[in-house]
Amino acid sequence: MNAKTLAMIIILLYNARTCHGRNYTNFTLYSTTPTEADHLKFLQNLDKQKYIDMVFWKKPYKLYEDVQFIVSPADKAMFLERANHFKLKTEVMLADVESAFRAQTVSKYSRLRTETFSWENYHTLEDIYQWLTDIAVRYPNVVELQSIGQSAEGREIYAMCLRKHGNKYKVIVEGGIHGNEWIAVEFVTYLLHQLIEQNDTKYWKLHELGKKYDWYIIPIINPDGYVYSQSTDRLWRKNRRATNSGIGIDLNRNFDYNFGKYGTSANPMDDYHCGAHPFSEPETRVLADFITDKKNNLRFYFSFHAYGQKVIIPFADRIKHIENYGEMENFGKQAILKIYKMFGTKYSVGTTYDTLGLRISGNSASWVKKTHGVRYVFTFLLRDNGTFGYALPTTQILPTCEETLSGLTELMIAKPRRVRLNLFNRALTGIPVEESHLNFFMNLTKTYDANFWREPGLMYKPVDFVVSPEVKSVFLKEASNLGIYLTTIIEDVQKAFDLQTVKPYIRRKTDSFNWNSYFRTGDIYEWLRDLAKAHPLEMELQTIGTTYEHRDIMAVRIMLRGSKNRSRVVIEGGIHAREWVSPAFVTYLIHQIINAPYSKDPMLKNMALTYEWFFVPIMNPDGYEFSHTEDRLWRKNRHDGRFGVDLNRNFDYSFGSVGVSYNKQSEIYCGPYAFSEKETNAMANFVLSKKENLEYYLAFHSYGQYMIIPYADIKHHKDNFDEM
């Protein structure tokens, strides 16, 4: 018996074993987050060695990235024993996966009655294709249904074309490239329905886009895998082409983009098997040929998947951001804000590496971007974040479709949100070496539309600032006449801001809060609440006041178990809105202190146990939010909704004497009197309440890389300056 014959027998036996369907009764869905190298290695070994009967829904690639998997009832005890050995915390998301799968009911479509096709249940391939046919018959002047090729098992792959005479640009939408991602197929059909029917007035912006672009929509690239996932194995991902060693190829690893290098497998039995060579599969060849045929004036390419709640930007194999990443991230952020406003669903934006912690090759979106230079290419990972995963209930189909359509529409109509309507395009630095130079910088904001990043103070100290393009030529001429030498430190300020990714926090998953991105106020507060809930004996939260826009100013107390008579430390962050790295560091310190008992660093552990800790991570939440939504360079609070007060000039110490302004428009406006602001009052009262045994007070700002010792208003050293 030759090797080829033996391989075919193995495949036949495999098919015989699965012909009655893979059953997942009493399989448990777990979620965990590896926080140590041993955790990650343990999970990765489980995936490679397969000594436990389990299936990863989201694979382990990176520390602090959540992982989901199902474990068979027979191996559950062994898994929990090994997880406990490695001190890996796990959370049960679903006790019986099969029950959740059975609840994903598939409805029957009534032929020729297009209105009976709804998004309250999932659908079979046969019904979807029949509905597409009926739509084409009902709207012959609006749409055209065409078969663009066949799958490995001979099923048609359909594209629905919506064209308007005179349209210049095109949009291609792809769904169902993975057999088990049912919600992706449902959304693409919902998008098609809304583009054609146009009876829902809330989608009037989408209807305008329907008139503006030619749309090409492919609901199911992988019909064989989709059918198999409904008839035999709910978790089937690949297509169904038999090879000498196994069945199926992951179609989203089979495109000719850095083929076979990252996030793929050469093992034909693996879910991520990329195939023998690029475009080895009929489905990927069909899609590639279709896209190539439509490449002229192709403006948008969208690929829909599940699950994860991400908007992913090319390139999937890169760590660095390249080409027009900043522009796409800008649009993506506007889309996820729109999604959040509808039902509170939190998405994140970034590359595959930014959002998932891994790199992949051979995916359709990267190939489209690289090969055809399409300007806007996005991959959406739809609901959810792992609570149900592939077992997403039918009750979530319509909300998923509605919020995604809202976000997609916003993305396509979005305009770049710039810093103050793009007032500033580059950041400059200059060094005053004469009194005339220093005076010029001191009066800069009075004379020109400028914004200081590092304010003028002394001779020979750098001054960093941005100046609006409208006055730049006049400004440069005056600076040149005075003999001031200027250097560009950032060529494109907006591009630099666009690279400052902001990530949403996943509630009740404290390890999803990390320090690879920035977070908004609400997400920081939610993380603190979850952290306090996880450490009820050692950590407590307190609202020490409210702002003018009615946001809480939250304080954190941490006292690890031990002596109760300890010196105190108060830590303040975020007093200036635009200094995002300040709240980021304070939250990082909170994380380190509360987890110090488990740390291998003896100095950290000793420091954490020595003191009673108090933190105010964001003293200026109104300004912090305003810097996220309206003006990245906003510094002050939002007292009157227009001018605001510099909170770090509003305390009752030598008030109003030096380094301040009484001009309300100034960045350093000190307010009408000391403690005129709610935020400074709240902080002052909080510090006074903790003054007994208060040994350290630390305030964190940016930028400059300095450690500054009091007093800020005098030149000579006082008190214990030398000791500090």
The full DSSP string for 87-142 is T--EEEEES-HHHHHHTS-EEPP-TT-GGG--SSSEE-HHHHHHHHHHHHHH-TTT
pLDDT, residue 608, reads 93
Whether 25 contacts 76, CB under 8 Å: no
pLDDT, residue 511, reads 78
Q: Which two tokens stand for residue 685?
A: 């009262």
pLDDT, residue 254, reads 98
**Cβ contacts of residue 367 below 8 Å, gap of 6+?**
255, 256, 257, 288
Give the pLDDT band of residue 2 (cuts 50, 70, 90): low
Cα–Cα distance for residue pair 410/413, rounded to 1 Å = 5
Q: Which residue has the tokens 């140590």?
A: 36
Q: pLDDT over 90 for what percent of the chain?
A: 67
Average pLDDT, the chain: 90
265 half-sphere exposure, CB direction, 13 A CA radius:
14
Whether 281 contacts 275, CB under 8 Å: yes
> In 3D, which of 681, 542, 724 has the Cα closest to residue 616?
542
Q: What are phi and psi of 148, to 5 degrees?
A: -100, 0
pLDDT, residue 494, reads 73
Q: Which two tokens stand for residue 649?
A: 């000039």
Model pLDDT for residues 492-545, shown as the tens digit of each residue: 777 777 777 677 777 677 878 889 889 999 999 999 999 999 999 999 999 999
Give the pLDDT band of residue 18 (cuts 50, 70, 90): very low
For 156, 166, 316, 587, 616, the CA distances from 544, given in Å and listed in that order, are 64, 61, 44, 17, 9
Cα–Cα distance for residue pair 385/506, rounded to 1 Å = 8
**CATH 3.30.70.340 in the chain, residue ranges:** 22-102, 427-498
The whole-number average pLDDT for the span 105-119 is 85
With b meaning 16 or more CB within 10 Å and e meaning fewer, what string describes 193-225? bbbbbeeeeebeebbebbebbbbbbbbbbbbbb
The whole-number average pLDDT for the span 258-269 is 94
Residue 584 has pLDDT above 90, yes or no: yes
Whether 546 contacts 554, CB under 8 Å: no
Residue 295 has pLDDT above 60, yes or no: yes
Ranges 226-240, 398-412, 466-480: which has the least confidence = 466-480
Beta bridge partners of 557: 540, 614
Helices 182-197 and 397-413: crossing angle in degrees, nearest 10, is 60
Query: For the domain bounded by 22-102, which CATH number is listed?
Result: 3.30.70.340
The whole-number average pLDDT for the span 360-375 is 97
214-218 and 450-454 beta bridge pairing = unpaired
Give the pLDDT band of residue 645 (cuts 50, 70, 90): very high
Higher-scoring residue by pLDDT: 686, 471: 686
**Cβ contacts of residue 125 below 8 Å, gap of 6+?**
155, 220, 223, 226, 227, 230
Whether 679 contacts 699, CB under 8 Å: no
Is domain 510-699 classified as CATH 3.40.50.2300?
no
215 half-sphere exposure, CB direction, 13 A CA radius:
25
473 class by beta-carbon count within 10 Å (0-12 exposed, 13-18 middle, 19+ buried):
exposed
> In 3D, which of 124, 157, 160 has the Cα closest to residue 139?
160
Cα–Cα distance for residue pair 21/233, rounded to 1 Å = 6
**Cβ contacts of residue 516 below 8 Å, gap of 6+?**
354, 501, 503
> In 3D, which of 591, 47, 526 has the Cα closest to residue 272?
47
143-150 and 156-162 beta bridge pairing = antiparallel
pLDDT, residue 561, reads 84
Query: For the domain bounded by 109-413, which CATH number is listed?
Result: 3.40.630.10
**CATH 3.40.630.10 in the chain, residue ranges:** 109-413, 510-699
Q: What is the DSSP letter of 171?
A: E
Cα–Cα distance for residue pair 127/189, rounded to 1 Å = 12
Whether 272 contacts 264, CB under 8 Å: yes
pLDDT, residue 277, reads 97
Give the pLDDT band of residue 417 (cuts 50, 70, 90): low
50 φψ region: left (φ > 0), alpha (ψ -120 to 50), beta (else): left
Residue 474 has pLDDT above 60, yes or no: yes
Residue 331 has pLDDT above 70, yes or no: yes
Q: What are phi and psi of 139, to 5 degrees?
A: -125, 65
Cα–Cα distance for residue pair 660/650, rounded to 1 Å = 9
Q: Which two tokens stand for residue 96?
A: 């019986």
Give the pLDDT band of residue 10 (cuts 50, 70, 90): very low
Q: Which residue has the tokens 């793929």?
A: 264
Residue 316 has pLDDT above 60, yes or no: yes
pLDDT, residue 418, reads 45
Cα–Cα distance for residue pair 87/39, rounded to 1 Å = 8
Distance of CA 285 to the CA centre of its chain: 31
Taking the alpha carbons of 67, 68, 71, 76 in that order, is the dihedral positive or negative? positive
Q: Which two tokens stand for residue 542?
A: 């307190």
- DSSP H or E segment with residue 372: helix 364-372
Give the pLDDT band of residue 693 (cuts 50, 70, 90): very high
Whether the bond between 315 and the residue before it is cis, its omega within 30 degrees of 0, is yes
pLDDT, residue 17, reads 37
pLDDT, residue 421, reads 36
192 half-sphere exposure, CB direction, 13 A CA radius:
36
Alpha helices in 465-555 (DSSP H): 469-481, 493-498, 521-534
pLDDT, residue 428, reads 86
pTM of the predicted protein model: 0.65
Cα–Cα distance for residue pair 372/170, rounded to 1 Å = 13
Give the pLDDT band of residue 704 (cuts 50, 70, 90): confident
Multiple choice CATH, 427-498, 3.40.50.10860, 3.30.565.10, 3.40.50.300, 3.30.70.340: 3.30.70.340
Residue 244 has pLDDT above 80, yes or no: yes
pLDDT, residue 168, reads 82
Q: What is the DSSP letter of 392?
A: -
The whole-number average pLDDT for the span 583-595 is 97
Model pLDDT for residues 609-625, shown as the tens digit of each residue: 999 999 999 999 999 99
Ranges 324-328, 422-426, 660-664: which has the least confidence = 422-426
Helices 521-534 and 621-629: crossing angle in degrees, nearest 10, is 130
